[in-house]
A and B are shown apart, each in its own frame.
Chain A
Amino acid sequence: MLSPRKIAVLAFSMFVSFVGQASAEDFRIGAIFPLSGANADYGDLYMGATELAVSHLNEAKALGGKLSIAYEDSQALPQQGVIAMNKLVNVEKVSYVLSAFTGVSKAISTTAMRSHTVAVNGGGVGPDLAELGEYFWNVIPLANFEVRAMAPYLVQKRGLKRVVLVYVDDPLGQSIKRELESSLPPLGGMLAEALSVPSNAQQFSGIAARVRDANPDVVYIASFGAQQSQIIKQLRDNGVTQQLASYSGFAIPAIANLPEAKGALFTTQRIDWNSEDPVTKRFTQEYQLKTKRAPTAYAANYYNAVLLFGTLASAVQKAGQPVTGENLLAKRREIGAFDLVGGRLSFEKDGTIRSAMQINEVDGGAGKVVEVVAAP
């Protein structure tokens, strides 16, 4: 005969197994964002979009259970990113992780490949991100496409031929340098000087002197976070009056609100915020309502990344399969094109989307589109 103690243990086990079954249909994905440090602005921006996407998917009951996101702080540092990725894969057991920043994304990609966990980047733009294996996807056009869109506009349409690059010495900055070196000469432009800065540098008055000395027509800044704001302010304060240009790193509120950045040009993928496309329209309206900010390409990318998981996981469930990295990858290949913010997007073989680009001008708000460049 069972003792009361054994009955209690048995009852508790049954309760635990019941609770376990009840929550088995819930889904949890991971996100490795910079939530502290000098680049925390980006993490804040991304989270506004991912939480909106989660609420939309949960409202629509797109998945069997409730979707939630396990956030981990990378501080935009590769080492922290790897620690976060290991935790998400081994402890949280997620099959889908959102990633940001080129260095962090490259660092976590090996774990993604080894564990067959899908990693989706919506913020890093280093061209190397297209070569990180089948489990690493990019829902953002990479920097080589951004530079290839900006260079002809500067040289041919604005007549700004002499370029000085101020770049942070990391994989992103180095790739932008390579891209400028190769794309400017055929257009009749030239990279007059490339000045690299460490990612933790805060003093740029000396660099401003070097920039003035090089006498450029345009200064291309390839940095990110708080540092790029510091570069802009110190260049302007120290007598650099030339046109400023950059990549999608400028698509953050901190730059939009910086008086010294007004008039600077930057590239992003093409998104018509006034589009009547239902996904874009809903995102644009509700993102503004929820976050009190104008929508940006970054926000759209991370919203898209979560929406993509919803679409793929739902399809995997309908096929009667478990939601694993392998099955998500197979479904992405099978479905091909997806209705996301910005229209219908499809992935290239290397897991990267390619889209039309737009050149924006910082105007204190969401940015003014000055040129649209067709998809390569």
Chain B
Amino acid sequence: MLLVQLIINGVQVGALYGLTAVGFSLIFGATKIFHFAHGASFAISAYVFYYLYAVLNLGWPISILACSIAVVLFGVTLDRYVYVPIQRSNGSFFTVFVASFGVAVVIQNLIGTVFGRGFISVSSALSKSVEVAPGLYVAPTAGIAIVIAAACFVALQLFLGRTNIGIALRALSESPALVRTFGLNPKAISTCAFALGSLLVVPAAVLTSMTSGLNAAIGGRVMLISIAATIVGGVGSLRGAACAGLLLGVAENLAVWRFDPQWSEAVTFIILFTFIVLRPSGFFGRVVTS
């Protein structure tokens, strides 16, 4: 039963990892910007939700809507007023990365100053596990995480495959010059990528605030998982990032089955290292979307 329990836990965690990683991969794939502040987007979303839902008791629809707006505004503002000016003045890939890293550090400290640096969590009946079979405990958040992750991924695939802006996003990742030739504005499409990528962290951030809880430094871990999942899944592949996120979550939990729990964190790096050595292109190579 322990094995089944760990697989269920792993799928829940992996679904959230997958969502976060897909957001990062979408932004990176479309804009080629190493958006290190993606972890900060996660933290902003989680803390805004915590403040509105747990402190101001505004109810979850308003809280989720507000944290979605906040995180989209953050992503878009960062693109428009930090990344674009750097790129305009011929800033290198590395310069943009450093700027993004700096923003992430600033946001972490701002959150620490405003909310404190200790642990906080949103109390919810949804995170309390119930025994569904002897020795098998499942919380409603597990089902919610899996369903929302699947729904978001399907919706994203439809958006990218069937809408003009989605097709433009995929085109931008292949050739910005071609996008311009067709009379489209790469900056506007880039803004859309940031909005969409940032929005994808919201479900994971909200559910994490209920299950694992938050601290000001949570963005760093989110970025670590996002980067690992993007590389393991194949840079630019959303399907790959989703699958890799799921793989990392399940592997992390399954490691606890036979090894000391200490190894569960190392599993992420072992998988990453294995892929870099044996299959550098990741699960699905460099395809924007399937």
Contact = CB atoms under 8 A, between A and B. Distances in A.
B289 interface: no
A296 B253 CA distance: 36
Nearest to A252: B118
Nearest to A210: B256
Interface of B: 1-2, 5-6, 9-10, 12-13, 109, 112, 116-119, 121, 123, 127-129, 131, 135, 137, 139, 211-213, 215-218, 221, 252-253, 255-256, 260-262, 264-265
Contact of B9 (A202, A209, A213): A209
Given A36-B109, A205-B211, A206-B10, 17 more contacts: A203-B212, A203-B253, A206-B253, A206-B261, A207-B256, A209-B5, A209-B9, A209-B256, A210-B2, A225-B119, A230-B212, A237-B139, A238-B9, A238-B139, A254-B118, A254-B119, A258-B119
Given A200-B221, A209-B256, A237-B139, A38 B215 contact: yes
A350 interface: no
A40 B262 contact: no
A351 to B, nearest CB: 31
9 contacts: A40-B117, A41-B117, A198-B265, A225-B118, A226-B117, A230-B213, A239-B129, A254-B119, A258-B119
B189 to A, nearest CB: 35
A197 interface: yes
A238 B129 contact: yes
B118 A229 contact: yes
B39 to A, nearest CB: 13
Given A36-B112, A37-B117, A213-B2, A234 B260 contact: no
Contacts of A234: 211-213
Nearest to A228: B119
A237 B118 contact: no
A39 B9 CA distance: 27
A169 interface: yes
For B109, B119, B131, the residue with the greatest tally of chain A CB atoms inside 10 Å of its CB is B119
A41 B1 CA distance: 38
B119 A238 contact: no
Nearest to A194: B260
A36 to B, nearest CB: 6
Contact-size category for A: 35 or more
Contacts, number: 111
A254 B213 CA distance: 13
Interface of A: 36-41, 44, 169, 195-198, 200-207, 209-210, 212-213, 225-227, 229-230, 233-234, 237-239, 254, 258-259
Nearest to B260: A196
Contacts of A36: 109, 112, 117
A85 B13 CA distance: 40
A206 B127 CA distance: 15
B146 to A, nearest CB: 14
Contacts of A229: 118-119, 121, 213
Given A37-B217, A226-B215, A237-B128, A205 B9 contact: yes
B81 to A, nearest CB: 26
B109 to A, nearest CB: 7
Contact of A203 (B13, B119, B217): B13
Among all A-B residue pairs, the 5 with the closest Cβ atoms: A40-B117, A229-B119, A206-B256, A226-B119, A239-B137
B121 A233 contact: yes
B261 A230 contact: no
B118 A226 contact: yes
Contact of B262 (A38, A169, A233, A237): A169
A226 B10 CA distance: 22
Nearest to A34: B117
Contacts of A239: 129, 131, 137
Contact of B261 (A210, A226, A254): A210
Contacts of B13: 203, 205
A44 B135 CA distance: 41
